[in-house]
Amino acid sequence: MEDVTMMGMEVFNCLACYLPLRPPIYQCSVGHFICCSCHDKLPAEERKCSTCSAAISQRCYGMERVVDSILLPCKHGCKKKIAYHHKAEHERNQCRNRPYVCPVSGCRFSGTNAQLLDHFTARHKWKTKRFVYSVAFDLQVQPGYHLLRGGDGRVFLLNMAPPESLGHAVSLVSVKPIGRGHVIRCSVGFSRFSGHYQVTWLELGSLSRSDGLLAEYFFVVPKVSNGDVVLTITIDDGKLYEEDHDDDNYKDWEDEEVTYD
């Protein structure tokens, strides 16, 4: 029978802040370890171990090699092996398999991208408006969240915040991650009265997975005294535009009938 020894990972945590040790690591004369951050916060004349009060004066290169060699699996199931002291950061902000969280305050949902889209419509009852890329469309909006679905199935989340002193703040992001080198641009226009037209152009980002927050607000709509706000939106997908020019058969989805909710 194989003899297996189990070791708690807490032995590789800093004795001062209890976070995983990462190089550079310091130790006292007895052998207790603290991280660089805690070491540097102590005045030079007061660098004593919080456990035994011995002086902390040495850097422990041996322990640094140990913590760098401890590789653990990601809890989200990706194939990467991560150093113990990088594990939390990887799982929270870097792993491509990490779950999405709902941007609604107080909602604790987390799941895959597909599950998040189902959650938006089933739990929050957000309506979806279909659109064709590079074709302007009008959207009558009230404060809150609105879903926009392109011809390729990609969904965008538009949020219009309640009016502040300057008006409504508007943000727009892709729910699905936008790959490196893939550019999606958008213009949002608004007319308050005859002769007035306000428009903003920008490159869209993606919904944050770790906290569910949308990108910073990029468009301010003045308060409207009567009726809902009507925005004129155009979304251009650079990747689709390139494929359209490279493949004459690509326009299949553009020819289908598009219905608007």
We report the CATH number of the domain holding residue 28 as: 3.30.40.10
Instruction: Name the domain count of the chain.
Output: 2
Which of the residue ranges 122-126, 130-134, 147-151, 254-258 would you say has the lowest mean pLDDT? 254-258
Q: Are residues 145 and 242 in the same domain?
A: yes
Domain presence at residue 121: no
What CATH number is associated with residue 207? 2.60.210.10
In whole angstroms, how far apart are CA 65 and each of 17, 60, 70, 179?
20, 9, 9, 35
pLDDT in tens, 94-117: 888 888 888 888 888 988 888 888
Rounded to a whole number of angstroms, the distance between the first and last alpha carbons of the chain is 65
Q: Supply the pTM of this predicted model.
A: 0.62
Domain presence at residue 244: yes
For 55, the domain range is 9-93
Average pLDDT over residues 37-59: 84
Average pLDDT over residues 121-138: 92
Q: Are residues 137 and 237 in the same domain?
A: yes
Q: Are residues 144 and 234 in the same domain?
A: yes
Q: Are residues 132 and 87 in the same domain?
A: no
Domain presence at residue 119: no
Q: Are residues 78 and 132 in the same domain?
A: no
Q: Kindly report the average pLDDT of the chain as a whole number.
A: 80
Q: Pick from 93, 109, 135: which residue ends a domain?
A: 93
